[in-house]
Amino acid sequence: MEIVLRDEYIKLGQALKAAGLVESGFMAKDVIADGLVKVNGNVEYQRGKKLREGDVVIYAGEEITIKA
C-alpha cells in the first residue's frame, strides 16, 4: 500500500488512519504506544513521528510505503 504525500511529511498516526489500518487517532495512539508499529524496521513509539518519502511503516502485517 502507498500513501502519496501532499506536503513535506505526514505524521505516523495520520498515515495509519489514511491507510485505513486504524479507525481513529485514539486507536493509532494506542497501537503505537503498545509498540505494534515499525518504521523502517524499528519499533516506533511517537505518534507524531514525521514520515517522509521512502519511509516504510509496518502494522498488523500490512506495509505502507510513503511516496512523494
pLDDT digits (tens, 9 = 90+) for 6-48: 999 999 999 999 999 999 999 999 999 999 999 999 999 999 9
Position 13: which residue type?
G
Across the chain, mean pLDDT equals 97
CB 67 within 8 A of CB 2: yes
2-67: CATH architecture:
Roll (3.10)
Q: Which of 42, 60, 48, 61 is nearest to 15 (CA)?
A: 48
